[in-house]
Structures are given as structure tokens and as C-alpha cells.
Structure 1
Amino acid sequence: MGEYTGRIEIARPPAEVFAFLADLRNMPRYLPTVTRVGPQGHHDQHDDVAVEGEADGHAYRNDGWLKAEPEARRMRWGSHTMQDYGGSLSVTEASGGSAVELKLSLTPKPEVAERMQQEHGSIDHGMRISVERTLGAIKAACEQGGEVVRDSANDEDPADSRPFGSSATLNPDI
């Protein structure tokens, strides 16, 4: 299982950034593969969620859990079906606003790993790019109301975080 981390600073107050990220309705604004997220019930330790979306031309739905800890400005999540998948996100104070730190633990499915190997030279490099793109999309959503500026020097969409976004949304294709 791979462990991937990233950090980005956002020019908004930590409480505001955490409130935005902890609201499930906002998830499609920074995870481009997600079309819908909804609560499925509550347990003592976490909330069950259902995630729907599309990745690589395939619709998916998966069930998982999410635990928001507002007092610590931290969220943790995982999948009910993929035991080697989980993540956390924390929002802290930083000069000029907030810092968001993202941690992801997962083993990409073989076909995704092969694509990352071909496109990025290694799975780790592909995952690092995906984490950076996701953090960039979070920053854009928090600072610019969700608009992502395309990089004309790079033909890729900076919000294209499919490898991370798919797995973060419990996509069974990962």
C-alpha cells in the first residue's frame, strides 16, 4: 500500500476552509470525478456515505465512511469495500490563511497502476501529481469560488485529479 501526502496554503481562514471541505455537498467542486455524495447513516465513530461519479468513462457508486472532527479541523475517510484505502485531511493556521495537508493510503488497481506507470514513469510520481492537482482544486474552490485556471503551457487540466479523485471518492476502478 502506498502512502501519499501533500500540503498547500490557502488565503482563507482555517475555520472557513474546514467548513467548506467538511460539507459533503462541496466535494464535487474539488474532486472532478464526483457527481454526488450523500449521507447513508450514522455510527458512533463516523458517518456512512455513498459516493457517485464517473471516472475514465465509467459510472461508479461506492459506500464508505467519513469522520469530521471540527474541533481539530480534521477529516478521515475510508471504504467499506476496499480495506487498503483511507485518507485524512487537516486544516491548520498558516501565514496569510490556512494550510491543508492531505494524506492518502491506497494501492491502485492494476490497470490504474499500469496507466500511471506509462503516463508518469512511476506509480509514486503519478500519485504525487494527483495529490498536487487535488490540492490545487481545493485551493481554487476555496479562493476563487471553484474556478480552475487552465495552464496554457501545459495541455493538461490542473483539476484533473482522477487517480486521486477517483480513489478519494471510493471509485471501485482504483
Structure 2
Amino acid sequence: MSDYDNTITVDVPPDRLFDYLADVENLPAYLPRLSAARRHDGERVTVTAHVDLPEGSEQDVTSEAWIRVLEEGKILVWGTPGPSDYHGQLHVAVGDDEGTSRLTVELHTEHVEGAQVDDGLRETLRGIKAAVERADG
């Protein structure tokens, strides 16, 4: 079992950042392996990702996930079914400077551990920052 977290400052107001993140169709703009994301009724989401397989080949994989948007507290909670118990939260808060936000990601997984997950979190946060600042500009 492993828990990870990381934080980044984003140069857009918290409401704008949260609205952007709450729209699941924006996921491929900041998660490089995702090629599609579509919300269904309720919290259910279908995502398609391009993955590298252990033997060196690549494959597109479609799977189910869920995302819960909690307007109060500006929190997104997500997870995927399966043995890895992969789930996490995004928290959007007011940044230190006017017009900025602090975005914190917390992640839990039963499998992949260490530097690979930390690197993935940093890459995701940089991707969110770049995508939302570009969309806001």
C-alpha cells in the first residue's frame, strides 16, 4: 500500500481551475497517455489510454473509472475498479498570490511504488498547470 501527494501553484483563480478539472472531457489535455474521456450518467467515466506493455509493445486500453465532484471544498475524488485500489483526490485552494490557486493531488495505490509514481504526479501537475493556463489565456 502506498500513498503519495504533491502540490503546485497554478496561475488562474480557484473557481476557474476547479471548473476546468471538473470537466472530465479535459482529462486528455493534461494526462498524456489518455486519448479520450467521457462521462456517463452519475459518476461513471470511460477513459481510453495508450499504454506501454511490459514486452515493449503498445496498446490502447479502454476502462471504467468514477469521478465525484464536490463543489463544497473544491475537491474531486476519483478511482478505478480493480486489484490496485487506485484512487485519489484533487484539492483546489486559494493561492498565495491574487488570482492564483494551489492544487494538491493525493493518490493511493496498492501496486506501483516509488519514484515512478512521484514522477507521474509531478508530470500530471505540470500538465494541468500548462493546460489550464493555456485555456485561460
TM-score range, shorter chain: 0.7 to 0.9
Aligned to 1:106: 109
Q: Distance in 1 between matches of 2:64 and 2:45?
A: 6
Q: Distance in 2 between matches of 1:103 and 1:84?
A: 14
Contact 2:8/2:103 (CA < 8 Å) preserved in 1?
Answer: yes
SS of 1:81 mapped into structure 2:
coil
Structure 2 gap segments, 5+ residues each: 53-57
Do the aligned partners of residues 5 and 125 (structure 1) sit closer, same or farther apart at CA in structure 2, a change above 3 Å counting? Answer: same
Given the alignment, which residue of 44, 49, 56 partners 1:53? 49
Aligned: 1:85 with 2:86 = yes
Q: Distance in 2 between matches of 1:40 and 1:70?
A: 19
Contact 1:13/1:98 (CA < 8 Å) preserved in 2?
Answer: yes
User: What's the offset of the Cα at 1:62?
Assistant: 1.0
Structure 1 gap segments, 5+ residues each: 114-122, 147-174
Aligned: 1:130 with 2:120 = yes
Aligned to 1:62: 63
| 1:10-49, Cα deviation, whole Å (9 max, x unpaired) | 111000000001101110000011111112322xxxx111
Count of paired positions = 129
Aligned to 2:55: none
User: What's the offset of the Cα at 1:145?
Assistant: 3.5
| 1:45-94, Cα deviation, whole Å (9 max, x unpaired) | xx111111211121111112110011211000111334611010010001
Contact 2:49/2:62 (CA < 8 Å) preserved in 1?
Answer: yes
Q: Distance in 2 between matches of 1:11 and 1:131?
A: 19
Contact 2:25/2:39 (CA < 8 Å) preserved in 1?
Answer: no
Please, what is the CA RMSD of the aligned residues?
A: 1.6
Report the structure, 1 or 2, having the larger helix content. 1
TM-score, normalised relative to structure 1: 0.69
Moved over 2 A (4+): 80-83
Aligned to 1:172: none
TM-score, normalised relative to structure 2: 0.87
Report the structure, 1 or 2, having the larger strand content. 2
User: What's the offset of the Cα at 1:144?
Assistant: 2.5
Contact 1:64/1:81 (CA < 8 Å) preserved in 2?
Answer: no
Aligned to 1:11: 11
